[in-house]
Amino acid sequence: MDKLLYLMRHGETLFNAQHKIQGWCDSPLTKKGQQQAKKAGQYFKEHHIVFDHAYSSTSERCSDTLELVVDMSYVRLKGLKENFYGELEGESERLNQHLTPKDCETFYLQYGGESSNTTRDRMMKTLTDIMEKDDHHCVLAVSHSGACYNFLRAIQDPGDELKKGFGNCCIFVYCYSNHQFVLKEVIRQKD
């Protein structure tokens, strides 16, 4: 039987609304972000999706999102954190709006940040370790847009999905079988 991973982006934060670069720095969920998380929780209830385990990035925006989505114990993991943007943390998104996904592989290194390849590899290791556990059949993991993008990039060409956007609380559904992830669908909220 295939295992299922529901990899979800956190709800809208203050820095998202203010268009600030947010990696390892954190900001609280907005009212809209809280509503997005509750809406995702409602989706899971309506579709009778029951998780046997849940995980969150150590960032408060992710744990707060998870707590609004499901009422269950969970584990916070540094491996699910967003890309680190170094000196650009908390700065305006205008500073990186011109970047292509390929540029991001090395751009942040000059500011003391990390390569998107590092984030990709960290996410792949963390999520593989989670899904390899015998009692993990239907798992929720709450992470970040860049981290989710880089994980998808490790599995397939992310271009088509990126064009559709990775909005707050979008959910990537992956089948996990024979040590491989396959994207099944992406569930995006309608505003």
Mean of all residue pLDDT scores within the chain: 96
Q: Tell me: the pLDDT tens digits for 42-88?
A: 999 999 999 999 999 999 999 999 999 999 999 999 999 999 999 99
Given a cut of 90, whether residue 12 has pLDDT beyond it is: yes
Looking up tokens 């963390």 gives 126
Spatial separation of the C-alpha atoms in residues 177 and 181, rounded to whole Å: 7
Instruction: Identify the residue with better confidence: 104 or 172.
Output: 172
Look up the domain containing 9 and give its range: 3-187
Q: Tell me: the pLDDT tens digits for 14-44?
A: 999 999 999 999 999 999 999 999 999 999 9
Task: Verify whether residue 48 is a known catalytic residue.
Answer: no
Q: How confident is the model at residue 9 (pLDDT cuts 50, 70, 90)?
A: very high
In angstroms, how far is CA 79 from the centroid of its own chain?
A: 11
CATH at 21 = 3.40.50.1240
Catalytic residue from among 10, 53, 136, 144 = 10
Q: For position 191, what pLDDT does the model report?
A: 66
Name the nearest CA neighbour of 27 among 35, 18, 36. 18
Tell me what percent of the residues of the chain surpass a pLDDT of 70.
99
DSSP designation for 12: P
Q: Tell me: the pLDDT tens digits for 135-188?
A: 999 999 999 999 999 999 999 999 899 889 889 999 999 999 999 999 999 999
φ, ψ of residue 92 in degrees (nearest 5)? -65, 140
Average pLDDT on 92-102 reads 90
pTM confidence score: 0.96
Catalytic residue from among 12, 53, 82, 89 = 82
DSSP designation for 13: B
Name the nearest CA neighbour of 144 among 37, 24, 19. 24
DSSP designation for 132: T
In angstroms, how far is CA 47 from the centroid of its own chain?
A: 21
Query: Which residue(s) pair with 171 in the sheet?
Result: 8, 187
Q: Please calculate the CA angle 162-187-172 and round it to the nearest 5 degrees.
A: 65
Task: Verify whether residue 82 is a known catalytic residue.
Answer: yes
Our count of domains for the chain comes to: 1
26: three-class secondary structure by DSSP? coil
